């Protein structure tokens, strides 16, 4: 796979708390130039990006981010507003407190409610693997599948660790056929990205991909 083809899998990401408009513009212009899958940006920038770049960019934003413990109604309103502003993909964080309490029925109901709000748009479910044991990860694979979300995603990038290949392998064993996989958090090299894609990821969340390619020609390896 060429380095440039890898970028077709990338949600080009800028989610720093102190991101300014110049950072978001840079992100968007890189996404257009390198044909990334989307830009993943804070909700407060969605409308401005849509007004500035129109349909040149697929806009992804985050919901209940980064801790996940907002109530379902608040997360649903975030999706409704982001849809109005121009987003077409939503990366939600599960309520990790509910997960640790073992209340997987509640988690599943929340995911299903947010998928209903997202409608035909893409809902990705961040389970924040760094805080979970294997039993919890397996239960969340089932909840994501049953709730008919589009993706399961490893991490916010704000936790204690990010994506790991062993978690992708667990996802592949446990999710339903309709659910895709996104790896995020700590993906910092072309080799990392290629390894996650080979394991079955359809998306990679990273802020590093384009920077790694600047000044380099695409090569096969």
**The two three-digit tokens of residue 33, written as one number:** 């130039």
Backbone angles phi, psi at 109, to 5 degrees: -65, -40
42 Cβ partners below 8 Å, 6+ apart? 14, 15, 19, 61, 62
**CB-neighbour burial class of residue 119 (10 A; exposed 0-12, middle 13-18, buried 19+):** exposed
Which residues are within 8 A (CB) of 86 and not within 5 positions of it... i.e. 6 or more apart?
A: 46, 47, 49, 50, 51, 59
Residue from 11, 75, 85, 91 carrying the catalytic annotation: 91
Residue 85 appears among annotated catalytic residues: no
Catalytic residue among 115, 137, 180, 182: 182
153 is catalytic: yes
**Residue from 153, 167, 180, 192 carrying the catalytic annotation:** 153
Query: What token pair was written down for 160?
Result: 């204690």
Q: How far is CA 56 from the centre of its chain?
A: 20
Sole residue written with tokens 């062993």? 166
Residues belonging to the active site: 91, 153, 182
């Amino acid at each position: 796979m060429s380095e440039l083809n890898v970028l077709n899998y990338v949600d080009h990401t800028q989610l720093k708390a102190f991101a300014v408009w110049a950072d978001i513009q840079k992100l968007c212009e890189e996404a257009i130039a390198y044909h990334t899958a989307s830009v993943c940006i804070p909700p407060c920038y969605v409308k401005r990006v849509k007004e500035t770049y129109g349909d040149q960019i697929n806009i992804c934003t985050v919901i209940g981010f980064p801790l996940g413990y907002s109530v379902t109604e608040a997360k649903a309103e975030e999706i409704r507003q982001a849809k109005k502003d121009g987003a077409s993909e939503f990366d939600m964080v599960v309520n990790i407190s509910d997960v640790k309490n073992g209340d997987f029925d509640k988690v599943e109901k929340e995911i299903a409610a947010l998928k209903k709000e997202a409608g035909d748009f893409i809902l990705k479910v961040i389970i924040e693997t760094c805080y979970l044991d294997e039993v919890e990860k397996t239960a969340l694979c089932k909840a994501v599948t049953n709730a008919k979300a589009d993706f399961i995603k490893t991490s916010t990038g704000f936790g204690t660790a990010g994506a790991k290949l062993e978690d992708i392998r667990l996802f592949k064993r446990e999710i339903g056929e309709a659910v895709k996989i996104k790896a995020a958090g700590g993906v910092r090299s072309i080799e990392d990205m290629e390894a996650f894609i080979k394991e079955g990821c359809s998306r990679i969340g990273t802020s590093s991909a384009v920077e790694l390619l600047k000044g380099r020609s695409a090569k096969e390896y």
